[in-house]
């Protein structure tokens, strides 16, 4: 019995030793295999990471909330002429104090209060000049009273304007460039309050019966302009599809109709991306030949284009010789301001869903050196590609540029 137990123990020890050796050998093999797998995985991951860095572009977000079917009456105001008037100062009082113990106590007429200023102040919560009134008048100072009661100074009237507002006089001379938040400019000073007869009391004339009227507030006229209106401006001839494109890429609702000059004032739409970045796109009025000579909307349109950091040229490829439309747009812009053609741009061929657009698109590509992005704003064809190209343009050229970097 003892002999069989010893034999069993020796067999179990031998079996354990063999199992341990096999396990060690398998571990070494697995370590080498796993090491090769890990190295291979790291190399592939690094290669994929580089590809992702090169190809990573934020995706535009779809608007889930339903859009109203009505056309909006809101539009972007980037220029306004205003008239401002400072408040008048209060009149001084003429009064002689009479007490029951002294009926000749002397003069006690108080001074009038100062009129309020009209002040332009930069606010981060204001985006355009639509809230600025054409005529603004500050409050008048209060008149003086007896018993040396001075009139109350009027409160200043604050007009909030967006960042990058340029203040010009009626002759076009720049008076102020408001490019920082809380920066202020006194547009019209209020009149000073008049002195009462107490002010004129002296040893020689102890009971003066004279006082001053309050000063008149200043009256001034200015032209306010916004240096930057949007990141991207849509430029094209009338009925090229600019308003339709803005409706397709944003929640803006500009008027769309089958006649020229539907858009008379710019509309702003926002493109939202999944990395919380927002790009402002402006729908500008249509441009026609000789606009730099103030034909059509003329200079007004070109001033709108001047306030956009990048330009999107929209070409209607259903028209004959569409490359001539691009030449017209570039020529008119260069005649107004040579720097506009140096800004980042994208050429868009619109209305490719129509039959006659296919041949014209090929002709347009042959007659221009720029990259063409064919889309159909009405049918939504290739809109996602356009939004990614806009984001690439924004990241490469516009993201580091502040609103005050655009020269007017």
- Residue ranges and CATH numbers for the domains of the chain are 77-228 (2.70.210.12), 230-405 (3.40.50.300)
pLDDT value at position 43?
A: 38
**pLDDT at position 355:** 85
- At 347, is the secondary structure helix, strand, or coil? strand
The answer, yes or no, to whether residue 48 has pLDDT greater than 70, is no
pTM for the structure as a whole: 0.68
Dihedral angle, C-alpha 168, 169, 174, 178, nearest 10 °: -40
DSSP 8-state assignment for residue 285: P
Kindly state the average pLDDT of the residues 131-146: 94
Contact 335, 301 (CB under 8 A): no
Where does the pLDDT of residue 81 fall: very low under 50, low under 70, confident under 90, or very high at 90 and above? very high
190-204 mean pLDDT? 92
Mean pLDDT in residue range 117-121: 96
Q: Fill in the DSSP letter of residue 389.
A: H
Positive or negative CA dihedral for 124, 129, 133, 135? positive
CB-CB contact of 349 with 343 (8 Å): no
Task: Return the pLDDT at 12.
Answer: 55
Give CA torsion, residues 124, 125, 130, 136, to 10 deg. Answer: -80
**Distance (Å) of CA 133 to CA 156, 157, 168:** 16, 12, 16
Phi/psi for 282 (5° steps) reads -110, 130
Computed over every residue of the chain, the mean pLDDT equals 80
- pLDDT tens string 83-98: 999 999 999 999 998 8
pLDDT above 60 (res 31)? no
Mean pLDDT for 24-37 is 43
**Whole-angstrom distance, CA of residue 408 vs CA of residue 405:** 10
Per-residue confidence band for 42, with pLDDT thresholds at 50, 70 and 90: very low
Residues counted in the chain:
408
Strand segments (E) across 201-272: 219-226, 230-236, 267-272
Task: Give CA separation, 137 vs 160, 184, 217, 258, 359, in Å.
Answer: 14, 17, 9, 43, 61
402 or 195, which is more confident: 195
- The rounded distance, in Å, linking the Cα atoms of 86 and 97 is 33
Closest CA to 60 of 373, 244, 269: 269
Rounded-to-integer distance, Cα 188 and Cα 171, Å: 17
Residue 291 DSSP class: G
Sign of the alpha-carbon torsion through 227, 233, 238, 242: negative
Is residue 24 classed exposed, middle or buried when 0-12, 13-18 and 19+ CB atoms within 10 A define those classes? Answer: exposed
Quick one: which of 122, 257, 157, 144 has its CA closest to 197?
144
pLDDT of residue 76: 80
Most confident residue range from 250-259, 269-278, 285-294: 269-278
């Amino acid at each position: 019995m003892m002999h069989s137990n010893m034999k069993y123990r020796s067999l179990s020890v031998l079996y354990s030793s063999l199992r341990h050796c096999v396990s060690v050998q398998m571990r070494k093999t697995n370590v080498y295999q796993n090491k090769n797998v890990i190295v291979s995985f790291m190399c592939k991951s690094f290669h994929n990471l580089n590809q992702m860095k090169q190809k990573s572009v934020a995706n535009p977000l779809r608007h889930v909330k339903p859009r109203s079917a009505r056309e909006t009456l809101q539009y972007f105001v980037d220029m306004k002429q205003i008239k401002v008037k400072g408040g008048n100062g209060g009149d001084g009082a003429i009064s002689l104090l009479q007490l029951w113990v002294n009926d000749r106590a002397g003069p006690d007429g108080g001074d009038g209060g100062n009129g309020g200023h009209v002040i332009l102040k930069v606010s981060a919560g204001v985006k355009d000049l639509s809230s600025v009134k054409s005529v603004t008048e500050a409050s008048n100072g209060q008149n003086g009273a007896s018993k040396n009661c001075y009139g109350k100074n009027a409160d200043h009237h604050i007009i909030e304007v967006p960042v990058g507002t340029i203040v010009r006089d009626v002759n076009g001379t720049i008076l102020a460039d408001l490019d920082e938040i809380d920066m202020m400019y006194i547009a019209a000073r209020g009149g000073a309050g008049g002195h009462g007869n107490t002010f004129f009391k002296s040893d020689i004339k102890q009971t003066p019966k004279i006082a001053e009227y309050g000063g008149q507030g200043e009256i001034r006229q200015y032209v306010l302009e916004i240096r930057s209106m949007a990141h991207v401006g849509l430029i094209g001839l009338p009925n090229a599809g600019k308003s339709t494109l803005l409706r397709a890429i944003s929640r803006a609702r500009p008027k769309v109709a089958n006649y020229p000059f539907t858009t008379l004032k710019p509309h702003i739409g926002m493109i939202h991306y999944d990395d919380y970045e927002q790009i402002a796109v402006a729908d500008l009025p249509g441009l026609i030949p000789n606009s730099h000579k103030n034909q059509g909307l003329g200079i007004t349109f070109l001033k709108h284009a001047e306030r956009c950091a990048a330009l999107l040229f929209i070409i209607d490829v259903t028209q004959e010789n569409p490359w001539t439309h691009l030449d017209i747009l570039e020529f008119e812009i260069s005649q107004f301001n040579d720097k506009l053609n140096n800004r980042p741009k994208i050429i868009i061929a619109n209305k490719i869903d129509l039959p006659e657009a296919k041949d014209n698109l090929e002709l347009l590509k042959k007659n221009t050196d720029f990259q063409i992005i064919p889309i159909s704003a009405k049918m939504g064809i290739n809109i996602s590609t356009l939004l990614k190209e806009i984001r690439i343009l924004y990241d490469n050229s516009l993201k580091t540029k502040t609103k005050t970097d655009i020269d007017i």
